[in-house]
Amino acid sequence: MTLNIAADPIELTAALVDIPSVSHDEQHLADEVEAALRGLGRFEVLRVGNNVLARTDRGLSRRVILAGHLDTVPIADNVPSRLEGGILHGCGTVDMKSGDAVFLHLAATLAEPAYDLTLIFYECEEIASQFNGLGRIERELPQWLRGDVAILGEPSGGLIEAGCQGTIRVRITAGGTRAHSARSWLGDNAIHKLGPVLTALQDYRPRTVDIDGCQYREGLSAVRIEGGVAGNVIPDEAFVDINFRFAPDRSVEQAVDHVRTTLAGPIADGELQLEVTDAAPGALPGLQAPAAAELVRAAGGRFRAKYGWTDVSRFAALGIPAVNFGPGDPNFAHKRDEQVEIRQITEVADVLRLFLAG
């Protein structure tokens, strides 16, 4: 198969979907993308693993980064693609081969964009962060991540979703003494000790903060609780996992301090242990940066906050304003009936064409 990246981005999306690329198995698709970009003759192209990088160097005043992952979650009897009534069905249609298709189409059809372009198509976004291709590029080829604004083609309903929330997970662990439940007074129930933690979470009132006109709402939630030995045993161990999704004006350290403060009462006596098990910083929207502001204007001034974490955080950590902007409803991501409205593919391509043309 020879990938025609100058084709209509709807057709190109279908072609990308029809090349399976589950995480760790992106080689065939990466080969096709690499060959197509080299065939244009306008880009410096570099291949690292199953990451394909391309850039122009025309000495223009600004550089725009277009980044998208090539991998998908495991296929669920939803490849090859299928077009019905203005809806394209198939694994990766939303997350995020329609975004990749738009970027590739523009690379092929915009002969002289107003900005220098860097395109990054990377592997293993859908699995553990240690395998993330963008992380590898950041470590090994940081010069490829320099730019004035980064656009990730993650599904955003065709709206600019600016920045992203940060996330931390903590585990609160309780210990006790095991005993027969018929003689419960001889034991010390670890599950009961978690009650005040759950009450504090139930009473928590999340903060909403406005940053660059984006409303970020925080959330502090118990996401898992475990304990118990048997139906007739007082448990001697229990834990609750808590996830804090925080606005990007907080650092990870500030977010951890906020959780500790919120749970100060329950953990004050030292019987409960708090451990941070996962953390990722958020990303400020950065919409006041000139290149980002121009993108917002091209999109008709429509934007909103991103709820959830995406790789825009990696760019924000490097001081590069970054947004999510791609076709499709993110609620269809990873589903057996994953699908995208083809009109959104066209709309996103039109907006980015207007922006990149200056």
Residue-wise pLDDT tens digits, 316-347:
889 999 999 999 999 999 999 999 999 999 99
Tens-place pLDDT, residues 79-92: 999 999 999 999 99
> Percent of the chain beyond pLDDT 70?
100
Q: What's residue 90's pLDDT? A: 98
Q: What's residue 111's pLDDT? A: 87
Q: What's residue 8's pLDDT? A: 97
Q: What's residue 129's pLDDT? A: 84
Q: What's residue 358's pLDDT? A: 87
pTM confidence score: 0.86
Q: What's residue 288's pLDDT? A: 86
Q: How far is CA 122 from CA 23, 49, 93, 97, in A?
A: 10, 9, 16, 12
Confidence of residue 270 (pLDDT cuts 50, 70, 90): confident
75 has pLDDT over 90: yes
Active site includes 71? yes
49 has pLDDT over 90: yes
- Give mean pLDDT, residues 213-239: 96
Active site includes 125? yes
Q: What's residue 128's pLDDT? A: 84
Catalytic site residue from 71, 236, 311, 341 = 71
Lowest mean pLDDT among 157-161, 185-189, 225-229, 284-288: 284-288
- Give mean pLDDT, residues 27-41: 97
Tens-place pLDDT, residues 95-114: 999 999 999 999 999 989 99
Catalytic site residue from 32, 100, 125, 154 = 125
- Give mean pLDDT, residues 118-128: 95
Confidence of residue 1 (pLDDT cuts 50, 70, 90): low
Q: What's residue 47's pLDDT? A: 98
